[in-house]
Structure 1
Amino acid sequence: MIPLYDMHCHIIPGVDDGSVDMEQTINMLKIAYEDGIRGIIATPHYHIGRVVADISQCQWKLGDMLKNIEDMNMDMELYLGNEIYYFSDAMGKLVNDEIRTMADSSYILLEFDPKTEYGRILHAVNDTAINGYIPIIAHVERYECMVEKPDRCVEIMDRGALLQVNASSVMGSHGKEIQKFIKKLMKKRYVSFVASDAHSDRHRAPRLSECYAYVKKKFGEDYANEIFCYNQIRIIEDR
């Protein structure tokens, strides 16, 4: 199996609703490594009024995580990003380095309310692209406006957006309707990334291998490799 890369993961301890402490983070790193994950982009929440992860704090905690990885002799890459709950001044915060792009690239990870109107997603994609960034729509299967009208995915993709889905959703954990929606997208090769969106070492752990095997069987090895590895490397290399 190729090395897997998890590009949406709440693994930095004590900065959002993900890992609560370094002990849990280390457990998550071990789970990920045993599952075949060899690269992680940590994406703490940036949600004005709720959770705003401090960049400097995230950076030094990421440094501690890298030291632990070295001590455990694990060959794993770690990078920093943010999961940005889109708001009107998001681009200004990015320009001022108050929010992180994905692994210091041109890619950014955008989140919305599950009941958000489609016009807001479309506006966010346009706003992002105009400012020179490549928007990745986090767990696109959560947004009712997209599930109800899958063709909207084509419109935002035409405007520069990429789509990410959660591994648990691919496997049916969030219902048949959501799984069916994702299958439609995958049949047309619309999904660019599958990620764990892990928040702990228990029920939302950083595991991808089962989902990789499922996608490989259903949609082919080449496509599985793209959305679990090669596209993630494109983020890291900013290409």
Structure 2
Amino acid sequence: MFNLYPYLLFFLKKKNIPFKDLIPEGFVDIHSHLLPGIDDGVKTISQSAYIIESLEQMGVEKIITTPHVMQDVWPNTSSIIRDKLRTMQEALASLKLDKIPLLASAEYMMDDAFLKRIQVKDILPLYDSYVLVEMSTFSAPINLSEMIFQIKVAGYSPILAHPERYAFYHDDFSKYEDLKTSGFDFQLNLLSLSGHYGKKVQKVAVHLLKKGYIDFVGSDIHNYQHLHTIQKGFSPKLSALIEPILSKNCVFT
């Protein structure tokens, strides 16, 4: 008689653990794009409401959404972001979907406009002194050292969004150590761990986790596809790597 047990065991070992089963009490999502029409994230209030309700059902207890701020592409100001947030909060209240807080910060591209914002403190922090920043996918800022200096002089603590996605660092992991030494915290994209951006980015994400370089995680949800990818969760092996990091996000409660 044919023995199916080894094959069944193999299948069970490979089955993903749903993300809702990994989320700790007090978990805060600190990176998403859920203010409609403000960047490359959701386009409508209904899309945003659906994703927010889904995150609540998964166990997320607070959302700090982070629209892009990037000169010449998405030149959002603090007042624009606040106005969009207020509109979204009112819509959620009318839909009885305001059980979990929706707040807004920003994902700041480290460009010349950001440097000017830092100098005048026109910044929406994630929480306390934390500010979420990103680099171009093509190269690091030429004046990166000055950026870090100005951020710290202004009293902010920089969190680098999705370091695993910067391909120009992939062949020299010592650069990641340099970034950590210079004062960056690292925020991993859950989508990166799922393989959404490809095997290379996933491999780098795993490496950074194993090195202990990751401080926080974020969904970086822009749309329904991103939501459904994260809902599926991760393999047991990847879940074991990410689970200890998830509780660190509770500091933003």
TM-score (norm 2): 0.79
- The partner residue of 1:175 within 189, 198, 218 is 198
- Change in CA separation of 1:56 and 1:209 when aligned onto 2, cut-off 3 Å: same
Residue 38 of structure 1: aligned partner? 61
Q: Is the 8 A contact 1:166 1:196 kept in 2?
A: yes
Moved more, 209-218 or 132-141: 209-218
Structure 2 residue 43 is matched with structure 1 residue 20: yes
- The partner residue of 1:223 within 224, 233, 245 is 245
- Structure 1 spans left out of the alignment, 5+ residues: 234-239
- Change in CA separation of 1:222 and 1:32 when aligned onto 2, cut-off 3 Å: same
1:89 and 1:54 mapped to 2: Cα distance? Answer: 11
Structure 2 residue 79 is matched with structure 1 residue 56: yes
Q: Is the 8 A contact 1:192 1:231 kept in 2?
A: no
Alignment of 1:77-116 (within 5 A): 77-103=101-127, 105-116=128-139
Alignment of 1:124-135 (within 5 A): 124-135=147-158
Tell me the alpha carbon deviations over residues 73-107 of structure 1, each in whole angstroms, 9 at most, x when there is no partner: 5531222211111113424313535442224x311
- Identity of matched residues, %: 24
- Residue 224 of structure 1 aligns with an amino acid whose one-letter code is L
2:177 and 2:159 mapped to 1: Cα distance? Answer: 14
State the shift of 1:132 in Å.
2.1
- Residue 162 of structure 2 aligns with an amino acid whose one-letter code is H
Tell me the alpha carbon deviations over residues 187-214 of structure 1, each in whole angstroms, 9 at most, x when there is no partner: 12211121111112x2123875654785
Structure 2 residue 169 is matched with structure 1 residue 146: yes
Q: Which has the higher strand share?
A: 1
- Residue 66 of structure 2 aligns with an amino acid whose one-letter code is T
Q: Is the 8 A contact 2:109 2:135 kept in 1?
A: yes
When the two chains are superposed, the root-mean-square deviation of aligned CA atoms in Å is 2.6
Give the number of the structure whose alpha-carbon radius of gyration is greater.
Answer: 2
- Structure 2 spans left out of the alignment, 5+ residues: 1-22
2:55 and 2:144 mapped to 1: Cα distance? Answer: 31
Residue 204 of structure 1: aligned partner? 226
